[in-house]
Structure 1
């Protein structure tokens, strides 16, 4: 995978090649993408450029042994970590990952889950994965140069797994590069995120943020919550419960989650956060810094229960009560 094969994100590609050319490569880079946004092929192109000994013109040669191995995900010094089934390691699922990347480099999370045969499950990155990775990194590079670790969805790491990797991400061995690819920045362990250079990746021709027919309902709900007006917030909850369908109720949760991610980005001052709406910035200044993360968990729970046919009046009342206590 060369940079020339990737559409869009020219500023990101230029920044990455500049890091290598100037010899100022951060030891850990955290790519933030929307699901299927193309960060995985950009990570591969960056590694090819880093490892390639014949790079020129701002790109890898695409022909040398290192380029070929990285492009096919078979380089012995490039390790991949991604969510798997309980008790399993990523290295056990490399073949289906290779097939998926060959067919669709900018794959979506659900496509990876299906490719691994884990449909219907919630894959995680467990502590056993961290132990295995630390074992690998304790050995010398097999080809005598750079080593790299690509972690797809670090937000799926449990706390113990993340904590085991903290020290090595902060102070990696010489010529060891960490690349992380996240969809939900607010769920990445802050101690991990703070040790990485963050880069926003946008899909070529990316669609606009999720929409909702009556966006004013969220504005009213947030105004009531921030004003500590529980009765006003519960009035909005009643109107949410009266939405015409369960799909409309789910759409509200998706729309609200997107806005709260913007609040999180604004509070953290994350680079490349031009997507943040003025309303989200205003909310960010007024709510607790713990609120976006916790509120997203509440919205996820609500959306899940909507799909299980739980009464909407009960759900949205409960959601509102929880948000009122958190904000």
Structure 2
């Protein structure tokens, strides 16, 4: 029995936050919205749009806003009573199109994403060519009603080679009235021919004030100090900030700082407790979080030594810790090199299912070893 579409997990949903198609507004990306509206109002609406930028800055939210706008805005027939050119992508929540999109029942919209694996009860690892081939049926059915048809590819980076080649054919010969919105975290991974047939909308990391607005809209709004710390660790990504808050990232990063804040050696008992907290399938998300925060800690050490200290502390005592461990360019180079080494080690450890506690303790030991060399 196939899974109900409503029950299929959505890879772009973050616990504690609305799904991008449910977001009432897009914060901090006015330039991208304005660029799309300019093209729309100038009758230069391209059939392929590549929406790029770091993870968590609003790419999916923008794609859903554009889809709602295109399907709810009737084409200009050139008559003397045509409505004025739209000045925003806003569509009222009670608009029939908005309601159908919310329910994933809009016939003019196709969501191309990783399919559900009924056998293993999980999303497949990539977007397959069979999913792209469904577009032929979609365009055949939707053409009967006329008007625009919109496809959201979320995310294009996850297409396998066969799927990418199949989508390329659609971009080369798009059906009448079709607009394809490709979301991409890493556009360099896409076929150059796909990139060349799309107009790019690049979204930037959020400014601290915009990130604070996003966090203020949550049911559990973090304090102003925590919002500042989350912004430091998330580098302008609202999605990353939300994940960090949900997984206790601030507390975990504070633990890392404490582990390496001792003047002579790392805090072994804290390190052991941290490593053991990542053991077991139930703690897989925490394991990923710790590895990511270790990588981030090394990056902040390298930047500090290179003369680019953080704008603010992400944990109490971090500034003193960074200053002691990475006082100058030589230390910066050492930490940058270790970051690359440990990133590869973490990737290998995941691939061979290395014990999480052993991997984390090994990485902590390597960091302490490098710190000792810098002190000497």
TM-score range, shorter chain: 0.5 to 0.7
Matched length: 226
Name stretches of at least 5 consecutive residues in structure 2 with no aligned partner: 1-20, 75-82, 213-230, 236-252, 258-270, 276-286, 300-340, 364-376
Q: How does 1:313-324 map to 2 (within 5 A)?
A: none
2:354 to 285, 289, 308: 308
Name stretches of at least 5 consecutive residues in structure 1 with no aligned partner: 89-115, 215-243, 258-294, 317-327
Q: Distance in 2 between matches of 1:252 and 1:158?
A: 31
Q: Residues 61 and 127 (structure 1 numbering): CA distance in 2 closer, same or farther, change over 3 Å?
A: closer
Q: Residues 136 and 80 (structure 1 numbering): CA distance in 2 closer, same or farther, change over 3 Å?
A: same
Residue 127 (structure 2) aligns with: 125
Residue 143 (structure 2) aligns with: 141
Q: Distance in 2 between matches of 1:166 and 1:256?
A: 40
8 Å contact kept, 1:17–1:49: no
Residue 211 (structure 2) aligns with: 205
Q: How does 1:1-327 map to 2 (within 5 A)?
A: 5-51=25-71, 52-53=73-74, 56-62=86-92, 63-86=94-117, 118=122, 123-201=125-203, 202-203=205-206, 204-205=210-211, 207-208=231-232, 251=293, 301-302=347-348, 304-305=350-351, 308-309=354-355
Q: Distance in 1 between matches of 2:30 and 2:172?
A: 28
| SS of match in other structure, 2:151 | strand
Q: Distance in 1 between matches of 2:142 and 2:33?
A: 29
Q: Residues 210 and 8 (structure 1 numbering): CA distance in 2 closer, same or farther, change over 3 Å?
A: closer
| C-alpha displacement of 1:83 | 1.2
Q: 1:281-316 deviations in whole A, cap 9, x for unaligned?
A: xxxxxxxxxxxxxx9x9677336248623987xx99
Q: Distance in 1 between matches of 2:117 and 2:25?
A: 35
Q: Distance in 2 between matches of 1:302 and 1:200?
A: 32
Q: Residues 138 and 22 (structure 1 numbering): CA distance in 2 closer, same or farther, change over 3 Å?
A: same
8 Å contact kept, 1:250–1:303: no
Relative to the length of structure 1, the TM-score reads 0.54
Q: Distance in 2 between matches of 1:164 and 1:36?
A: 28
Q: Distance in 2 between matches of 1:299 and 1:191?
A: 34
The CA RMSD over aligned residues, in Å, is: 4.4
Q: 1:141-161 deviations in whole A, cap 9, x for unaligned?
A: 243100010010111111111
Q: Residues 254 and 2 (structure 1 numbering): CA distance in 2 closer, same or farther, change over 3 Å?
A: closer
Give the number of the structure whose alpha-carbon radius of gyration is greater: 2
Q: 1:71-112 deviations in whole A, cap 9, x for unaligned?
A: 443210110011123479xxxxxxxxxxxxxxxxxxxxxxxx
8 Å contact kept, 1:249–1:306: no
| SS of match in other structure, 2:197 | coil
Residue 111 (structure 1) aligns with: none
Q: Distance in 2 between matches of 1:7 and 1:161?
A: 32
| SS of match in other structure, 1:205 | helix
| C-alpha displacement of 1:178 | 0.3
| C-alpha displacement of 1:30 | 1.3
